[in-house]
């Protein structure tokens, strides 16, 4: 977090509600204990929160409050004054990070006073993060030997982050706008403190752009974090300025090195540590200024990491124009979550796309009905509606297209020329006039439980079933309530389509699935349905149902030609019905 004398840091009030969007500044990495995900951030005291699904977050007990913290911090950090005018530390904790090692959670923090450069990096440990657990107790590590100012060293001791290498060695990265910039020191995994060997304290500078103390842009870089991947250590950090709402200019860059202590270079080979000139750094996240508020991610920065189910994620904050921000027109600090995509060249990119493009059925978690169109009439201005699932109803399938930056356009599969759009109120409807306007773009947040919320790209209203209706009803937009009627499960649409193939590819019809009638010979084997007709009698309607009569597939076909279709049917018993020019019913038994 940058320290600028003329800027005022605003610490937001906390509450215990389950929040989406979640207000946090300088988020830590995310750790999971049992069924809860935990994150920490800047605050009066250390901001703590947990989530069950990575979408909604609940504020939790602070490890240290504004008034209750280790007394030794006050020996190094002063700047505020008490009622008697004595200089004191007022309890502002910045940019913590958390890491689990040797059976304990290690929470590293910085303590500072805004507008000064008197800061320390400290740490505290706990066996559990759950305040209800009898073993819950934070044990401070004491003074770790990292503080500002140290004699003869222009160091800014804030923004700690933990990095573990492939060899099990653990490193603490910290630092900010100053001569030394971003610094790295090795941690002792047993004590949690920096190791005691020459040159390890206060650490080695690995990224900066020092240009002298009198220049307005005298240095670059803070909020660093590191991750090891496939032979390289990757250093993510912020350039630009924070803490000014939508006027913040933070953006995220990256460089990599074979060694944790550097040198780190960007994709162009430019060093991240340069004296007297701008440093390198490949840009990963940056606000698209030409879009204004249509890109809600102002000033993205302060990366943390989280790994689950084979995927690397980043936590970060950004300034959302939909939030109030004192003394600024908008831009409350908001928690963001994104995926790291490791590209073919080994370098990372950041993706906000949590759902792959494709055709989906959308099932409402509360009603268990699926998204469709009113009266199944797929037409311009048709309203979105919920109905019972019908595998025969093509209008219940939706095509998701990624537009980049976490945005999607959504088409109806029954008529892909029709797209979903939001009006200026709470209506969701189809339109034949897709222009890529902001009200025709949507975002999807996918929870760890497989449930998603869908919302307009520039707004905060979610797709929901009003009044949590269980019957067939309209789908509208509404502010977040954390009710299941606002949550959806996206499942790949199970379509059964004709797949013509050469008749020579059909095996000889020698199984029990071959049925012969006077007007049609029916063969089903290896998911291939083949019907040959004895004469050309005209149009025939072909329908397959389950044994209870539920429609599975249908097609109109001319008997002048044989039918060959690929039908991915599960094991079971089905009824094949022919009507029209040919009237015939047969049982299809699909064996394992």
Give Cα separations from 68 to 63, 119, 136, 306 (angstroms).
Answer: 9, 18, 17, 29
Distance from C-alpha of 331 to C-alpha of 536, rounded to nearest angstrom = 70
Q: Two tokens at 497?
A: 């389509």
Catalytic residue selected from 44, 113, 186, 222:
222
User: What are the residues whose beta carbons fall under 8 Å from the beta carbon of 263, sequence distance 6 or more?
Assistant: 206, 257, 271, 272, 273
Q: Two tokens at 591?
A: 């064996």
Strand partners, 353: none
Please confirm, yes or no, whether 471 is among the known catalytic residues.
no
Strand partners, 340: 350
Report the 3 state secondary structure along 226-283: EEEECCEEEEEEEECCCCCHHHCCCEEEEEEECCCCCCCECCCCCECECCCCCCCCEE
Distance from C-alpha of 436 to C-alpha of 356, rounded to nearest angstrom = 19
Please confirm, yes or no, whether 222 is among the known catalytic residues.
yes
Rg of the chain taking only CA atoms, in angstroms? 30
Q: Two tokens at 217?
A: 């842009």
Maximum pairwise Cα distance, the chain: 105
Q: Are 119 and 89 in contact (CB under 8 A)?
A: no
Q: Are 28 and 97 in contact (CB under 8 A)?
A: yes
Using the CB atoms, write b or e for 500-539: b if 16+ within 10 Å: eeeeeeeeebeeebebeeeebbbbbbeebbbbbbeeeeee
The CA-CA-CA angle for residues 462, 465, 471, to 5°, reads: 170
Catalytic residue selected from 26, 44, 113, 159:
26
Give the residue numbers annotated as catalytic, written as ranges.
26, 222
């Amino acid at each position: 977090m940058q320290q600028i004398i003329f800027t005022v840091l605003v610490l937001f009030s906390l509450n215990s509600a389950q929040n989406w969007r979640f207000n946090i500044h300088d988020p830590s990495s995310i750790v999971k204990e049992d069924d809860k995900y935990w994150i920490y951030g800047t605050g009066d005291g250390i901001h703590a929160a947990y989530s069950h699904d990575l979408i909604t977050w609940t504020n939790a007990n602070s490890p240290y409050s504004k008034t209750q913290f280790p007394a030794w911090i006050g020996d190094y950090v002063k700047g505020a004054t008490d009622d008697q005018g004595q200089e004191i530390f007022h309890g502002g904790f910045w940019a913590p990070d958390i890491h689990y090692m040797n059976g304990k959670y290690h929470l590293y923090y910085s303590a500072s006073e805004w507008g000064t450069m008197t800061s320390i990096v400290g740490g505290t440990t706990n066996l559990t993060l759950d305040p209800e657990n009898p073993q819950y107790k934070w044990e401070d590590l004491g003074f770790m030997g990292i503080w500002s100012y140290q004699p003869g060293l222009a160091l800014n001791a804030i923004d700690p982050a933990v990095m573990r290498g492939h060899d099990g060695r653990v490193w603490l990265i910290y630092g900010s706008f100053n001569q030394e910039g971003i610094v790295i020191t090795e941690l002792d995994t047993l004590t949690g403190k920096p190791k005691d060997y020459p040159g390890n304290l206060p650490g080695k500078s690995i990224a900066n752009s020092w240009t002298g103390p009198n220049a307005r842009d005298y240095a670059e870089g803070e909020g660093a974090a590191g991750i090891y991947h496939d032979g390289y250590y990757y250093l993510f950090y912020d350039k630009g300025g924070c803490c000014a709402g939508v006027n913040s200019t933070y953006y995220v860059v990256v460089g990599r090195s074979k060694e944790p202590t550097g040198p780190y270079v960007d994709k162009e080979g430019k060093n991240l540590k340069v004296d007297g000139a701008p440093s390198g750094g490949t840009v990963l996240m940056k606000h698209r200024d030409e879009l204004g508020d249509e890109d809600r991610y102002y000033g993205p920065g302060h990366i943390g990491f989280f790994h689950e189910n084979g995927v690397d994620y980043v936590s970060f904050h950004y300034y959302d124009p939909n939030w109030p921000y004192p003394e600024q027109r908008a831009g409350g600090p908001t928690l963001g979550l994104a995926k790291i995509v490791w590209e073919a060249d080994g370098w990372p990119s950041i993706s906000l796309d949590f759902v792959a493009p494709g055709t989906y059925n959308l099932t409402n978690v509360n009603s268990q009905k699926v998204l469709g169109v009113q009266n199944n009439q797929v037409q311009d201005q048709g309203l979105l509606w919920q109905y019972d699932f019908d595998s025969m109803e093509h209008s219940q399938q939706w095509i998701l297209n990624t537009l980049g930056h976490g945005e999607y356009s959504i088409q109806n599969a029954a008529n892909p020329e029709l797209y979903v759009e939001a009006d200026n109120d709470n209506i969701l409807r189809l339109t034949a006039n897709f222009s890529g306007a902001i009200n025709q773009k949507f975002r999807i947040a996918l929870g760890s439980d497989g449930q998603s919320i869908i919302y307009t790209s520039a707004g905060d209203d979610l797709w929901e079933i009003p009044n949590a209706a269980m019957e067939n009803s309209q789908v509208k937009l509404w502010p977040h309530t954390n009710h299941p009627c606002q949550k959806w499960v996206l499942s790949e649409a199970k379509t059964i389509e004709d797949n013509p193939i050469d008749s020579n590819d059909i095996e000889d019809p020698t199984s029990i699935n071959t049925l012969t009638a006077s007007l049609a010979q029916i063969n089903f084997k290896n998911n291939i349905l083949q019907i040959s007709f004895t004469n050309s009698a005209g149009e025939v309607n072909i329908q397959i149902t389950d044994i209870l009569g539920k429609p599975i597939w249908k097609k109109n076909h001319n008997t002048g030609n044989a039918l060959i279709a690929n039908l991915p049917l599960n094991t079971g018993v089905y009824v094949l019905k022919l009507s029209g020019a040919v009237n015939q019913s047969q049982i299809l038994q699909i064996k394992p």
